[in-house]
Amino acid sequence: MTDHDKIPVTVLTGFLGSGKTTLLNRILTENHGQRIAVIENEFGEIGVDQELVINAEEEIFEMNNGCICCTVRGDLIRILGSLMKRRDRFDRIIVETTGMANPGPVAQTFFVDDDMREQFALDGIVTMVDARHFALHVDANEEAREQVAFADVIVLNKTDLVTAEQLDALERRVRAMNALARIVRADPLERARIPMESVLGIGGFDLARALEHKPTFLEPEYPFEWVGLFGLEAGPHELVLENGPDPAMGLALFKAVGGADEAARDAAERAFQWFSDDVAPIPPGQRIVPASVLVELDLRDAGTKRFGCDIAERGDYWLATEHLPEEFALRLLDPRGRSVTAQREQAFDPGHTHDDEISSLSLEAEQPLDPKKFSDWLGRELQVQGASIYRMKGFLNFKGVADRIVIQGVHMLTDNTSLGPWGHRPRRTQIVFIGRKLDTEALSSGFYTCLAE
């Protein structure tokens, strides 16, 4: 059976009142052409109007007493077994959990044995977050933290109840707990309204996208969130910013060393030292010149703010900004007023405190892995740390294996499959662990002993 033949399963989690049922009803009424079987753990206040709705009573099954890594949901196994006898009546399954449910056993149910893995594909865990009450929930409940940590997609819902600044802060906190998930903000005018493609059919594509474009967890914490490389001609340029979340923002504009080939991390390391300088903010209308210094922009005025930017010679320049450019709709205009796009860019995690004890670790290697060493190491590590590792995902580059291997796991259970040849993609291993109090030292040091000789 190929991955295309498997039945995709979406697990919908979220704390009480976060809007799970509202989203579920949206999914069911959206015109996506899919027949959906719904497994519900509770009948909420809002009914679900659907032909194939099955009510389940949470039944925790410890396959190996006391081992949370081997804990699955017996009720789901019963229902899935029964649903398979009606396979022709639906195309997809959505499991809506109770607000207090730990997503671990639900997710593990789909990894628990080979037959389950052959018939079902865990398409994604979607976690609804009540933007207004999330802090309250997450501070008081382990389940709320786990729901975020396990998620592939996190929907920030009820966004009409918080300010833009509060929403940004919420997104940062959520991002700090789960570096890999796609974070989607629901429409503030219509709760739980989000693009359906952001929650259905996400599968491996989302993993590729996340790993290739958002590896912020790879980086050390910098006092800035973004660097971008620009090829600029000589002449007067302009930095244009709109209203944003901060009345001031630090940035550095500096020449790339060795031209366009300089790595973003090298540029970030150079900029790091300047950002500790104490400088006076400059008001809009002032001019900036490329230099190894921090510039603090005064952004208190409402509306569009423009700063001159004098480039003496044509070349490659880095711009490091304290906030993400999109937060201020930042644009760099050339002497003819055209917007210049960054040739390369990298976002970094802002300096945050890991008060939630839940974090992500990403490991990466260009050198191929030895399959036997890696398999043995991962097996040992999952036995030791499996209870702490909520999710694991990654692409594996093995010596002697032509294909790109994708791996994902929940606690101690893993599944891997071939995505076909690497093709034009650079062969590189990237693996991410999301968990609680991870022993990152052990994971990092062990991982690099698996490199092939």
Partner 1 sequence: MPDLLRLDREPGQDRQRAALRDAVREWTGQALGLDDTATVVVTELACGEPGCPPLEVVIAVFAPHSPRRQCHIHCGLTELDETRVRGAWERNPSCGEHTHD
Q: Does 407 bind partner 1 (CB under 8 A)?
A: yes
Q: Does 375 bind partner 1 (CB under 8 A)?
A: yes
- Of these, 379, 425, 444, 445, which contacts partner 1 (CB under 8 A)? 379
Contact 336, 238 (CB under 8 A): no
Cα dihedral 157, 160, 163, 169, rounded to 10, equals 0
CB of 69 to partner 1, least distance (A): 9
Output the six-digit token pair for 1.
Answer: 């059976």
Q: Does 380 bind partner 1 (CB under 8 A)?
A: yes
Q: Does 65 bind partner 1 (CB under 8 A)?
A: yes
226 strand-pairing partners: 321, 347
Amino acid of residue 388: S
Nearest to 112 by CA among 408, 415, 416, 380: 415
The count of residues interacting with partner 1 (CB under 8 A) is 37
- Of these, 51, 115, 190, 212, which contacts partner 1 (CB under 8 A)? 115
CB of 438 to partner 1, least distance (A): 18
CB of 378 to partner 1, least distance (A): 6
In the stretch 339-368, what mask flags binding to partner 1 with x, by CB under 8 A? ------------------------------
Output the six-digit token pair for 6.
Answer: 């498997």
CB of 18 to partner 1, least distance (A): 30
Contact 292, 254 (CB under 8 A): yes
Give whichever of 6 and 32 is closer to partner 1, judged by the CB atom.
Answer: 6
Query: What is each CA distance from 127 to 77, 182, 294, in whole angstroms?
Result: 22, 10, 39
Own/partner pairs for 68-73, CB < 8 Å, 24+ apart?
68/104, 68/387, 68/411, 69/108, 69/382, 69/386, 69/387, 69/411, 69/412, 69/413, 70/108, 70/412, 70/413, 71/104, 71/105, 71/108, 72/105, 72/108, 72/109, 72/112, 73/105, 73/106, 73/109
CB of 387 to partner 1, least distance (A): 10
CB of 78 to partner 1, least distance (A): 4
- Of these, 15, 120, 328, 374, which contacts partner 1 (CB under 8 A)? 374
Give whichever of 66 and 420 is closer to partner 1, judged by the CB atom.
Answer: 66
To which residue do tokens 């208190």 refer?
Answer: 300
CB of 112 to partner 1, least distance (A): 6
Q: Does 67 bind partner 1 (CB under 8 A)?
A: yes
Contact 406, 204 (CB under 8 A): yes
Q: Does 113 bind partner 1 (CB under 8 A)?
A: yes
Q: Does 77 bind partner 1 (CB under 8 A)?
A: yes
Which residues touch 299 (CB under 8 Å, ≥6 apart)?
A: 241, 243, 244, 246, 247, 248, 249, 284, 305, 328
Give whichever of 234 and 442 is closer to partner 1, judged by the CB atom.
Answer: 442
Q: Does 376 bind partner 1 (CB under 8 A)?
A: yes
Give whichever of 141 and 375 is closer to partner 1, judged by the CB atom.
Answer: 375
- What are the percentages of helix, strand and coil residues in the chain, rounded to 5? 30, 30, 40
Q: Does 416 bind partner 1 (CB under 8 A)?
A: yes
- Of these, 9, 24, 53, 80, which contacts partner 1 (CB under 8 A)? 80
Strands (E), 119-193: 120-130, 153-157, 182-185
Give whichever of 61 and 422 is closer to partner 1, judged by the CB atom.
Answer: 61
Give whichever of 116 and 155 is closer to partner 1, judged by the CB atom.
Answer: 116
Q: Which residues bind partner 1 (CB under 8 A)?
A: 59, 61, 63-67, 70, 74, 77-78, 80-82, 85, 112-116, 118, 371, 374-376, 378-380, 382-384, 398, 401, 405, 407, 414, 416
